């Protein structure tokens, strides 16, 4: 008997009688999601800028980062300052990326996370391999909590998707929080 | 600190307690993590109903595990994922080895997976000449120290920064005496980045696997799982088969509870959902049983399989905080470990359910409402019935049961104990009496309550 | 209302004053209290050591001694919890079930059944309240810091009725003292350390008396205090509520 068959038959014999699945809560909308989102982001080590258009955004990026270093974005509007290829097939060639500019259609106020899927990424490794990251969030795309987030995601088909909440971090050394473990050392969030 | 000779929790904990200052440091650090969890939970008004919901979802999972596993496999295969089944640790390790050998590779990176600790994967691969680099910072530190992790979320919580500084000086060439966490983390970033960029195979764990869609989620703060997986040609995800959840939207419940329970953060920096391999990449999932189906068949203990490995129970446990993870001599320590391990080997782990005062705090912090402290009590009964109690204890308990079932004998025994304590205290106040090591014995009253009542009350009734 | 007085074995033998205080306290509330003299032990020490299968004798004795009362009251959260959760007697299950329903720990009996609102007790001292775990988490005598629910405490409610008593705040309100039954000797190092830490919390916050609803916790902490030659005393809550002085 294959292990698969053995395991499945052992599980079937061992499992208790069926317990029904509980219903998920209907989530209420809280007020001022943008405020909560921004506050949470600051608490998790990200920086926040409220902007009205892409020009303002690009200006801020210009003054926050060294434009001489390698910057990658998906949105063609960043062409003056970044590479805007649709796809990179060799992820190792992205090891020298200084800044990745990400866009999202979904952000979560309760934890400062943004949802990004592989169709929004020229390469899956980009949000992790870059030294720094920037994300653009639209106010109307902010939901209150994770229940609402998954309602928005619904049956979306993706090969890879990720919630990213702030810069990478670790507290493994005596619980001292350090930003910039393996992923980006910083995250700049633009709220449009 | 891995010891091949058997030492019980009590023996190891005694050694741990020889350095009281260090115990205080360990205890306070983990209590601080517990407090962070409290603070995060207080911010969610519906926290307790969220726990109830997560518990209910997991109850459903355990009662329908067979069909969920089949559905998960079907979906995963449709998504282009290769699904393997491992009956035990040895088979799991063999599967990993065969995948690695097929690719002609002898080194890889691994992000945190307690399952691989349970299977002793690193040691097995090392014997086969295959190098595994643990990329979670805490795991890398204990790997360099040649120790197992002492906590399932904070692997090197038992290590002081000076010790880590020394390790990095020895292995990474950082300056001697530098114990600055920022500096050491930056050094680890560079050191491990080189590994990510040069290894073709990456192993990750699995936090949750969704039966409905065949996707699985890996949660990290560091981004190491993603760095490994998205750069490698082969991604192997290792999973205890109980990690299944029914639907994608259930992730909302678990992702709200997991990190708040673990570290007090609202969510880990990265919660990555893997559904299909990257074009040109191989994605493997290994579903592991290793005693889980046996535990599933134990009505009193199957709830332990609801565990989402948050370690909230570790952080709240006053015994864990004062004995350290290595005292449990098993991959998963703490309260949850103490109800999982006996299922794997009753003889080896008979001591663990007794490493507790049954205070019940663990059950209250568990995000999926596992009745941990009740299971600790029940395991004690099972272990004694299975013959794992020391003879001395068996004899003492038999004597106690006999004495306490006969009121007159009980009264005589009580009086004798009081007489001994007051007239021959040296018989009790000595090295043979463990109580006496750190505590005075209770003072002896003139009479028992029963004697007082008989003298002062009975004649009035 | 006839109450059967349940006096745990170690209180009977080593802390009779707690039993006396409990008896007097209940009688002052106008309760008809009877002490069945042939009681021994609830069986908890054996059950918690994995020998629940040997408690048959204790269980039978308990049913025989206590089934006729309207309520059974005892000054010990852990012993009462044990009866509540584990009392079963083959062939007398209805009596056992009835007892499990009507057994009460002292403080919950005072607040929930007698609904006591005033006490004539005076205890002008700084008192630290130790929330014994089995009473707190098992019998729900008080809220728990790890549970997200409104705080409350039956023992505290009663102590607030005692004039002159100043309740101190602890750093860790409800951490276990480390007694844990046979744990106190089988895991002596951790047990003693837990006890020391509990005591230290009370000392740091200025307690001159430590009280609790469980004498086992107090016995353990008292052992440590006396080894440290501390002047801090332990006093079971029954004794304070009964109007005794330090």
CB atoms within 10 A of CB C94: 10
Measured distance CA(C162)–CA(C118) in Å, rounded: 8
Considering chain B, tell me which residue range(s) the CATH 3.40.50.10420 domain(s) occupy. 44-290
Least confident of A128-142, B288-302, B381-395, C121-135: B381-395
Q: Which of C11, C52, C180 sits opposite B449 (nearest CB)?
A: C11
Residue to mutate among A18, A41, A174, with most B CBs inside 10 A, is A174
Å between A141 CA and nearest CA of chain B: 17
Are B405 and C57 spatial neighbours (Cβ–Cβ below 8 Å)? Answer: yes
Q: What SS3 class is residue C126?
A: strand
Distances (CA, A) of B275 to A91, B248, B282: 19, 11, 12
Task: For chain B, say whether A181 makes contact (Cβ under 8 Å).
Answer: yes
Q: Which helix (H) or strand (E) holds C44?
A: helix C44-46
Least confident of A92-101, B4-13, C5-14: B4-13
Measured distance CA(B254)–CA(B38) in Å, rounded: 17
pLDDT given at position B4:
61
Among candidate residues B211, B319, B219, the one with its CA nearest the CA of residue B261 = B219
- Helices C93-102, C56-66: inter-axial angle, 10-degree rounding: 70
Instruction: Say yes or no to pLDDT of B211 above 50.
Output: yes
Instruction: Answer yes or no: do C13 and B365 touch at CB < 8 A.
Output: no
Two tokens at B231?
A: 């750069």
Q: What is the DSSP letter of B302?
A: G
Average pLDDT, chain B: 95
Q: What percent of chain B has a predicted confidence (pLDDT) above 90?
A: 88
Instruction: Say yes or no to pLDDT of A26 above 80.
Output: no
Are A167 and A46 spatial neighbours (Cβ–Cβ below 8 Å)? Answer: yes
Measured distance CA(B244)–CA(B259) in Å, rounded: 18
Measured distance CA(B352)–CA(B343) in Å, rounded: 11
Task: For chain A, say whether B297 makes contact (Cβ under 8 Å).
Answer: yes
Task: For chain B, say whether C187 makes contact (Cβ under 8 Å).
Answer: yes
Q: Which of C55, C174, C223 sits opposite B440 (nearest CB)?
A: C223
Residue to mutate among C51, C64, C66, C225, with most B CBs inside 10 A, is C51
Chains B+C touching (3+ CB pairs under 8 Å): yes
Distances (CA, A) of B455 to A117, B114, B128, B458: 82, 63, 78, 7
Task: For chain C, say whether B425 makes contact (Cβ under 8 Å).
Answer: no
User: Among all residues of chain A, which has the CA nearest to that of B182?
Assistant: A178
Å between B40 CA and nearest CA of chain A: 11
Q: Which helix (H) or strand (E) holds B38?
A: helix B20-42
pLDDT given at position B209:
98
pLDDT given at position B461:
46
Which positions in chain B touch C14 (Cβ < 8 Å)?
418, 442-445
In the block, residue with structure tokens 């320590």: B333
Q: What is the DSSP letter of A28?
A: P
Q: Which of B355, B405, B445 sits opposite C57 (nearest CB)?
A: B405
Measured distance CA(B152)–CA(A99) in Å, rounded: 33
User: Among all residues of chain A, which has the CA nearest to that of B32?
Assistant: A175
Torsion (CA) C74, C77, C83, C84 in degrees, nearest 10: 110
Mean pLDDT of B25-53: 97
Q: B99-113, pLDDT tens digit by residue? A: 999 999 999 999 999
Measured distance CA(B317)–CA(B319) in Å, rounded: 5
Which positions in chain B touch A7 (Cβ < 8 Å)?
69, 85, 87, 241, 287, 289, 293
Measured distance CA(B275)–CA(B80) in Å, rounded: 9
SS3 for A133-191, per residue? Answer: EEEEECHHHEECCHHHHHHHHCCCCCCEEEEECCCCEECCCCCCCEECCCCCCEEEEEE
Which positions in chain A touch B93 (Cβ < 8 Å)?
none
In the block, residue with structure tokens 């995060």: B40
Q: C201-218, pLDDT tens digit by residue? A: 999 999 999 999 999 999
Say if residue C51 is exposed, middle or buried (CB neighbours under 10 Å; 0-12, 13-18, 19+): buried
Among candidate residues C244, C213, C212, the one with its CA nearest the CA of residue C128 = C212
Two tokens at B405?
A: 């079932």
Listed by number, the residues of chain B in 129-148 with a beta carbon closer than 8 Å to a beta carbon of chain C are none
Q: C47-100, pLDDT tens digit by residue? A: 999 999 999 999 999 999 999 999 999 999 999 999 999 999 999 999 999 999
Which positions in chain A touch B138 (Cβ < 8 Å)?
170, 172
pLDDT given at position A95:
96
Which positions in chain C touch B414 (Cβ < 8 Å)?
9, 12-13
pLDDT given at position C180:
95
* Residue scoring higher pLDDT (B329 or B404): B329
Instruction: Say yes or no to pLDDT of B1 above 50.
Output: no
Q: What is the DSSP letter of B79?
A: T
Distances (CA, A) of A55 to A78, A83, C142: 10, 17, 59
Write out the CATH class of domain A29-168+176-191: alpha beta
Q: What percent of chain C has a predicted confidence (pLDDT) above 90?
A: 99
In B323-387, where does DSSP find H-type helix?
334-344, 346-349, 361-365, 372-385
Q: B304-327, pLDDT tens digit by residue? A: 999 999 999 999 999 999 999 999
Measured distance CA(A177)–CA(A113) in Å, rounded: 19
Among candidate residues B7, B254, B223, the one with its CA nearest the CA of residue A168 = B223
Instruction: Say yes or no to pLDDT of B84 above 80.
Output: yes
ipTM confidence = 0.97
Among candidate residues B316, B380, A157, the one with its CA nearest the CA of residue C44 = B380
* Phi and psi angles of residue B286, each rounded to the nearest 5 degrees, phi first: -110, 115
Task: For chain C, say whether B417 makes contact (Cβ under 8 Å).
Answer: yes
Task: For chain A, say whether B231 makes contact (Cβ under 8 Å).
Answer: yes
User: Among all residues of chain C, which has the CA nearest to that of B441?
Assistant: C223
Q: C172-199, pLDDT tens digit by residue? A: 999 999 999 999 999 999 999 999 999 9
Q: B412-446, pLDDT tens digit by residue? A: 999 998 988 888 888 888 888 889 999 999 999 99
Q: B129-164, pLDDT tens digit by residue? A: 999 999 999 999 999 999 999 999 999 999 999 999
Note the CATH number of domain B44-290.
Answer: 3.40.50.10420
Q: A61-114, pLDDT tens digit by residue? A: 999 999 999 999 999 999 999 999 888 989 999 999 999 999 999 999 999 999
Q: What is the DSSP letter of C47?
A: I
Against chain C, the chains showing at least 3 CB pairs within 8 Å are B
Q: What SS3 class is residue B371?
A: coil
Contacts of A138 by beta carbon, 8 Å cutoff, 6+ apart: A105, A191, A192
Strands B82-86 and B107-110, how do they pair? unpaired
Instruction: Say yes or no to pLDDT of C24 above 50.
Output: yes
Q: Which helix (H) or strand (E) holds B189?
A: helix B181-198
Average pLDDT, chain C: 96
Task: For chain B, say whether A124 makes contact (Cβ under 8 Å).
Answer: yes
Measured distance CA(A31)–CA(C92) in Å, rounded: 59
Among candidate residues A114, A118, A122, A113, the one with its CA nearest the CA of residue A94 = A122
pLDDT given at position B397:
87
pLDDT given at position B432:
81
Å between C120 CA and nearest CA of chain B: 23
Strands C2-5 and B82-86, how do they pair? unpaired
Measured distance CA(B406)–CA(B279) in Å, rounded: 77
* Phi and psi angles of residue C104, each rounded to the nearest 5 degrees, phi first: -135, 145
**Long-range contacts of the stretch C94-103 (C-beta < 8 A, 24+):** C95/C63, C95/C67, C96/C59, C96/C63, C98/C67, C99/C62, C99/C63, C99/C66, C99/C67, C99/C72, C102/C69, C102/C70, C102/C71, C102/C72, C103/C6, C103/C66, C103/C71, C103/C72, C103/C73, C103/C74
Measured distance CA(C172)–CA(C169) in Å, rounded: 9
* pLDDT classification of B197: cutoffs 50, 70, 90: very high
Instruction: Answer yes or no: do B155 and A163 touch at CB < 8 A.
Output: no
Q: pTM of this prediction?
A: 0.96
User: Among all residues of chain A, which has the CA nearest to that of B289?
Assistant: A7
Mean pLDDT of B65-86: 98
In the block, residue with structure tokens 């010790």: B163
């Amino acid at each position: 008997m294959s292990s698969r068959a053995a395991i499945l038959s052992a599980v079937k014999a061992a499992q208790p009688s069926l317990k029904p699945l509980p219903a998920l809560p209907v989530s209420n909308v809280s007020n001022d999601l943008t405020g909560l989102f921004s506050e949470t982001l600051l608490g998790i080590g990200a920086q926040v800028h409220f902007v009205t258009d892409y020009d303002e955004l690009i200006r801020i990026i210009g003054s926050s980062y060294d434009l001489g270093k390698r910057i990658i974005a998906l949105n063609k509007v960043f062409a003056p300052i970044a590479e805007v290829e649709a796809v990179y097939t060799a992820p190792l060639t992205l090891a020298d990326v200084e800044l990745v500019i990400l866009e999202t259609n979904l952000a979560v106020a309760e934890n400062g996370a943004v949802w990004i899927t592989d169709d929004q990424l020229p390469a899956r490794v980009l949000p992790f391999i870059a030294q720094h990251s920037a994300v653009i969030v639209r106010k109307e795309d902010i939901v209150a909590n994770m229940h609402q987030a998954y309602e928005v995601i619904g049956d979306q088909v993706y090969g890879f998707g990720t919630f990213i909440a702030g810069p990478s971090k670790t507290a493994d050394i005596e619980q001292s929080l350090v930003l910039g473990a393996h992923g980006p050392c910083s995250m700049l969030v633009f709220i449009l | 600190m891995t010891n091949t000779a058997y030492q019980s929790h009590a023996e190891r904990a005694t050694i741990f307690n020889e350095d009281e200052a260090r115990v205080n440091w360990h205890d306070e650090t983990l209590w601080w993590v517990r407090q962070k969890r409290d603070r995060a939970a207080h911010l969610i008004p519906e926290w307790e109903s969220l726990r109830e919901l997560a518990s209910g979802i997991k109850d459903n999972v355990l009662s329908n595990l067979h069909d969920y596993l089949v559905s998960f496999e079907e979906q995963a295969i449709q998504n282009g994922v290769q699904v393997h089944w491992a009956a035990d640790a040895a088979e799991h390790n063999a599967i990993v080895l065969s995948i690695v050998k097929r690719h002609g590779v002898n080194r890889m990176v691994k992000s945190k997976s307690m399952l691989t600790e349970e299977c002793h994967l690193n040691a097995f691969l090392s014997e086969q000449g295959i190098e595994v680099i643990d990329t979670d910072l805490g795991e890398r530190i204990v790997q360099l120290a040649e120790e197992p992790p002492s906590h399932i979320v904070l692997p090197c919580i038992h290590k002081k920064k000076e010790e880590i500084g020394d390790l990095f000086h020895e292995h990474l060439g950082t300056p001697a005496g530098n114990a600055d966490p920022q500096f050491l983390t930056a050094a680890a970033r560079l050191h491990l980045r080189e590994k990510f960029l040069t290894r073709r195979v990456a192993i990750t764990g699995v936090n949750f696997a969704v039966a409905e869609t065949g996707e699985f989620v890996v949660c990290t703060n560091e981004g190491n799982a993603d760095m490994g997986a998205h750069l490698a040609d082969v991604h192997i995800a290792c999973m205890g088969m109980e990690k299944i959840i029914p639907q994608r939207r259930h992730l909302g419940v678990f992702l709200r509870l997991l990190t708040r329970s673990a570290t007090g953060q609202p969510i880990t920096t990265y919660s990555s959902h893997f559904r299909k391999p990257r074009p040109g990449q191989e994605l493997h999932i290994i579903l592991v049983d290793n005693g889980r189906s046996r535990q599933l068949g134990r009505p009193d203990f199957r709830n332990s399989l609801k565990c989402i490995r948050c370690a909230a129970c570790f952080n709240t446990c006053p015994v864990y905080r004062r004995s350290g993870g290595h005292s449990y001599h098993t991959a998963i320590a703490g309260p949850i470990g103490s109800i999982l391990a006996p299922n794997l080997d009753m003889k080896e782990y008979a001591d663990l359910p007794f490493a507790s005062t049954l205070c019940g705090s663990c059950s209250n912090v568990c995000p999926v409402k596992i009745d941990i402290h009740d299971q600790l009590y029940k395991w004690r009964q099972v272990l004694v019935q299975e013959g794992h109690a020391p003879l001395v204890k068996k004899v003492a308990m038999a004597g106690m049961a006999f004495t306490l079932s006969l009121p007159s004998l009980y009264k005589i025994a009580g009086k004798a104990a009081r007489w001994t304590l007051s007239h021959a205290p040296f018989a009790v106040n000595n090295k043979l009496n463990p109580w006496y090591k750190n505590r005075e014995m209770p003072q002896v009253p003139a009479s028992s309550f029963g004697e007082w009542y008989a003298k002062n009350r009975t004649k009035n009734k | 209302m006839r109450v059967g007085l349940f006096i745990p074995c170690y209180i009977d033998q080593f802390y009779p004053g707690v039993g006396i205080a409990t008896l007097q306290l209940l009688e002052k509330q106008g309760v008809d209290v009877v002490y069945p003299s042939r009681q021994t032990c609830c069986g908890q020490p054996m059950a918690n050591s994995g020998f629940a299968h040997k408690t048959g004798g204790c269980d039978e004795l308990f049913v025989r001694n206590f089934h006729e009362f309207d309520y059974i009251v005892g000054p010990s959260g852990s012993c009462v919890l044990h009866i509540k959760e584990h009392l079963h007697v083959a062939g007398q299950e209805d009596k056992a079930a009835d007892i499990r329903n009507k057994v009460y720990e002292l403080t919950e009996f005072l607040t929930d059944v007698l609904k006591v609102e005033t006490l004539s007790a005076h205890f002008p001292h700084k008192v630290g309240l130790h929330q014994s775990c089995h009473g707190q988490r098992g019998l729900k005598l008080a809220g728990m810091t790890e549970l997200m629910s409104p705080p409350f405490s039956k023992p505290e409610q009663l102590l607030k009725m005692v004039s002159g008593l100043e309740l101190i705040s602890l750093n860790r309100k409800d951490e276990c003292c480390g007694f844990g039954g046979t744990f106190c000797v089988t895991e002596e190092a951790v047990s003693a350390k837990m006890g020391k830490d509990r005591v230290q919390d009370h000392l740091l916050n200025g307690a001159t008396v430590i009280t609790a609803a469980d004498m086992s916790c107090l016995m353990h902490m008292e052992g440590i205090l006396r080894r440290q030659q501390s002047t801090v005393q332990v006093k079971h809550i029954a004794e304070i509520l009964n109007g005794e002085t330090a």
